[in-house]
Amino acid sequence: MCGIIGYTGRQDAASIILEGLKRLEYRGYDSAGIALSGKGCAPKVVKKAARVEILSRLVREAKLAGSCGIGHTRWATHGKVSDENAHPHVSSDGVIVLAHNGVIENYVQLRKSLTALGYTFHSETDTEALANLVALHFSRLESLGVSENRLEEAVRLALAEVEGTYGIAVMCVGNPDEIVGARKGSPLVLGVGRGENMLASDVTAFGGRMQNVVYLDDGQIVRMNRDDFVISTLKNESVAPVLNEIDWRMEDAELGSFPHFMLKEIFEQPVSLENAMRGRFSQDASTAQFGGLNMSARELRQVDRILFLGCGTAWHACLLAKHMIERYARIPVDVEYSSEFRYRNSPLEKNTLVFTISQSGETLDTLEAQREAQRKGYRVLGISNVVGATIPRENDGGIYQHSGPEIGVASTKAFTAQVLVASMLSLYFGRMRDLSFADGREMVKAFQSLPGLVSCVLDQAENVERIAKRYAGCNDFLFLGRLEMFPIALEGALKLKEISYIHAEGYPAAEMKHGPIALICPECPTVAIAMAGEMFKKCVSSIQEVKARKGDVIVVTDCPDDLPDGLADEVIFVPRAHDCILPILATIPLQLLSYYIAVARDCDVDKPRNLAKSVTVE
């Protein structure tokens, strides 16, 4: 959630760190800060409960200079949003400067013991306790005459007393070009350069400056200066670094001609969906193929049940996976929130295969749910977008979406790619069982037509924008769908909530009469997804119930001519298509609707309040 960046080299650290913080803004934050080290004096810190743009001005005014420093964007957990609670934090003796992402669960006890030893506190954060704890061990090591790698050892000793999660970057007086980083449950990446090294929460912060990176594992510590780095464990065991090359272009994370990343990423979906499919169909075009599952056809045929785990938008993708796999592969599928699965003693059948879905690959609840399933002996596969993230590194096999970097906090192209992969999995499992060759060919043909059909939907953006302006003043929305369109209704409601702060709910259309219909009024429009097929007439009946109570209705449909005259106040058309891709086509107008309503309400689309892109705390 919070963003961390560190730089040590021979160039102006302030400009590099501030640029990195701007690239980390997409993660969500409420304050920002920077610290630069100085020779023989305490690092200089500037921090503010404000955007990075304001921080940059303050840094210029303070005339901060140096070639080594750390920066941070904070998403508040412990303590209100304030200048005092912003990171980096300085120990009360002025020796240690520390930026932290995560939660120190035993900070109250640490704070009491440190106060008794004379350390003082100026913030409400859990992080300041860690900064003072490192300072305590640094002082003790100094009194013992330890000089070599004293900061690293002080960090190691402090973390042995810590309960919780962390990704940290630490500097100290006396080591003007050294940074120590460590992680447990919160991502941290080392960028390896020539005459310079960097540390960050994710590779986006490097801004193309680093091409080679090392993804730190839980329980690892890195000590780096401008010319070298050393990785070890909390037990002081040496670790041989594994260099990875960043596999996407920096321009993929740039706005280009678009006003917001969210709109850019909505319009990138024809390409991102094409990338998710590339090389994943058999030569006879009758099934899908995945190279990273690490399971034989014989092992996969023994699967009796599948469990999908995810959070937020990824949970909606899990629901779509359930509908598709049960329909085309005839395998029972369960779906659980990752956060709930961790704490439920849920009985699983012996031959259950577990899937996790996480765009970032760092979602803490999903990571811990994966670990819990593996601890119980189940094989866990994953669907993720970020190569090198913790979840795909720790699972037993999986599938990369290849969507490219997604900067907008509200997920768009990553969600549709997740749904596409899930639908392709339904074909893959189905062809192993009783789905015919001809049916497989039809599904592959449908998948291959998807990018073009999505482009057709995007061509209606102006019409969706007009509709959005009409209803932008409303403060309540209902979204309705049946069967596989119900998760799409949930996703549409979530998108609207996330970026426009409108109260919105998604329901199966038939559930309206069981309570939600009480909300219907002229000020509460309904978005109804009504596609051709056996459920169309049922959806029309639900829409008529809304209209009878003077509610406006926006209908997303592939058969507008079949709607009774006057039933819909607005209609958004999607092309007629195979059922295996129709949920994706229905998603696009809801993304556009949410985006244009948020713009009309003058909301910060890419950085909605209180939200973070990657949720790395519990």
Note the pLDDT tens digit of each residue in 387-402: 888 899 999 999 999 9
| Residues forming beta bridges with residue 301, ordered by sequence position | none
Query: Are residues 131 and 220 part of one domain?
Result: yes
DSSP 119: -
Which of 424-433, 489-498, 573-582, 607-616 comes out lowest in average pLDDT?
607-616
Residues 133-152 have a mean pLDDT of 93
pLDDT band at 1 (very low <50, low <70, confident <90, very high): low
pLDDT confidence of 292, banded at 50, 70, 90? very high
Do residues 422 and 381 touch, judged by C-beta distance below 8 A?
A: no
Residue 306 located in a structural domain: yes
Last residue within a domain, chosen from 458, 476, 511: 458
The answer on 324 and 222 residing in a single domain is: no
CATH assignment of the domain containing 479: 3.40.50.10490
In this prediction, residue 503 carries a pLDDT of 96
The pLDDT of residue 359 is: 93
Q: Which of 213, 246, 279 is the last residue of a domain?
A: 246
Task: Kindly state whether residues 324 and 224 are assigned to the same domain.
Answer: no
CA distance linking residue 510 with residue 527, whole number of Å: 14
Q: Judge whether residue 606 has pLDDT over 80.
A: yes
Is the Cβ–Cβ distance between 561 and 408 less than 8 Å? Answer: no
Q: Do residues 221 and 351 both lie within one domain?
A: no
In terms of domains, do 256 and 238 share one?
no
State residue 47 phi and psi, 5-degree precision. -150, 155
Q: Please state, in angstroms and rounded to a whole number, the distance separating the CA atoms of residues 74 and 107.
A: 18
State the catalytic residue, choosing from 2, 172, 311, 603. Answer: 2
Catalytic residue among 44, 48, 497, 613: 613
- Domain count within the chain: 3
pTM for the complete prediction? 0.83
Contacts of the segment 545-552: beta carbons below 8 A, 24+ positions apart: 545/512, 545/513, 545/517, 546/478, 546/512, 546/517, 546/520, 549/517, 549/520, 549/521, 550/520, 550/521, 550/522, 551/520, 551/521, 551/522, 551/524, 551/525, 551/526, 552/471, 552/522, 552/525, 552/526
Task: Say yes or no: 75 and 206 in one domain.
Answer: yes
CA distances from 517 to 412, 492, 525, 590 (A): 29, 18, 12, 21
In this structure, what CATH number is given to the domain that contains residue 14?
3.60.20.10
In a domain, 563, yes or no: yes
- Same domain? For 261 and 189 the reply is no
Reported as a pLDDT band with limits 50, 70 and 90, residue 248 is low
Q: Please say if 2 is a catalytic residue.
A: yes
Contact 252, 403 (CB under 8 A): no
User: What confidence tier does 211 reach under pLDDT thresholds 50, 70, 90?
Assistant: confident
Q: Which residues of 316-328 are buried (b: 16+ CB within 10 A; e: fewer)?
A: bbbbbbbbbbeeb
For residues 424 and 538, the model is more confident at 424
Q: Where are the alpha helices (DSSP H) in 144-210?
A: 150-159
> Residue 489 pLDDT > 90, yes or no?
yes
Mean local confidence (pLDDT), 523-552: 91
* Choice between 249 and 89, residue whose per-residue pLDDT is larger: 89
pLDDT tens string 41-77: 678 999 999 999 999 999 999 988 899 999 999 988 8
Residue 615, in any domain of the structure: no
pLDDT at position 610 is 77
What are the structure tokens assigned to 445, written together?
């043909």
Task: Give the structural domain span for 488.
Answer: 460-605
In a domain, 139, yes or no: yes
Query: CA torsion, points 84, 89, 92, 95, in degrees to nearest 10?
Result: -150
Nearest alpha carbon to residue 530 among 553, 512, 557: 557
Cα distance between residue 104 and residue 253, in whole Å: 32
Query: Does residue 95 carry a pLDDT above 70?
Result: yes
The two tokens of residue 524 are 């509460």
pLDDT in tens, 258-287: 999 999 999 999 999 999 999 999 999 999
d(CA 584, CA 586): 5
Residue 309 placed within a domain: yes
Q: pLDDT at position 39, please?
A: 67
Do 352 and 475 share a domain, yes or no?
Answer: no
> Is there a single domain that holds both residue 221 and residue 291?
no
Q: What pLDDT sits at residue 41?
A: 64
Question: Is pLDDT at 250 greater than 60 in this prediction?
Answer: no
Give yes or no for a contact between 221 and 180, defined as CB atoms under 8 angstroms apart: yes
- Which of the four pLDDT bands, split at 50, 70 and 90, describes residue 405? confident
The Cα–Cα gap between 387 and 361 comes to: 8
Which is nearest to 30 in space by CA: 15, 18, 48?
48
Are 206 and 93 contained in the same domain?
A: yes
Question: Is 378 part of any domain?
Answer: yes
Predicted pLDDT of residue 527: 97
Give, to the nearest 10 degrees, the angle between helix 313-328 and helix 413-432.
20
**611 assigned to some structural domain:** no
- 613 part of the active site: yes
Whole-angstrom distance, CA of residue 27 vs CA of residue 202: 10
| Residue 7 maps to a domain | yes
Last residue of a domain, one of 427, 458, 489: 458
Question: How far is Cα of residue 137 from the mean position of the Cα atoms in its chain?
Answer: 35
Q: Which residues of 159-182 are buried (b: 16+ CB within 10 A; e: fewer)?
A: beebebbbbbbbbbbbbbbbbbbb
Say which range, 36-50, 396-410, 432-446, 479-493, has the weakest mean pLDDT.
36-50
Q: In this structure, are 492 and 477 located in the same domain?
A: yes
Identify whether residues 149 and 284 lie together within a single domain. no
Q: Report d(CA 83, CA 317) in Å as an integer.
A: 38
